[in-house]
Amino acid sequence: MIHPILSRILMLDHVADERFREHQRRSTSAAAIIGTLTVFALLEYHLLVEHRVPWDLIAVIYAMGGAKIALMFWYSFKN
């Protein structure tokens, strides 16, 4: 038998764990968006200032977009 105070502490631990996961998910999503915008800004700089096409940056943008769409489909079918 668990003491009532211990059961409350365990319940708070469960809630804090879910909040931590939600903050981690949000920060990871924000980091991905900022990374994509940074790569896009570098692409625009190379196109407008240096007048050259950086295919490596274009490949990174397409890879990030493809991964995002693939994961959206994966999670929609899993849930």
Interacting residues of 61 by C-beta distance below 8 A, sequence separation 6+: 36, 39, 40, 43
pLDDT at position 42, please? 93
- The pTM of this model reads 0.62
- Comparison of pLDDT for 53 and 20, the residue scoring more: 53
pLDDT at position 76, please? 82
Tens digit of each residue's pLDDT (9 = 90 or more) over 9-48: 555 555 556 777 777 778 888 888 898 899 999 999 999 9
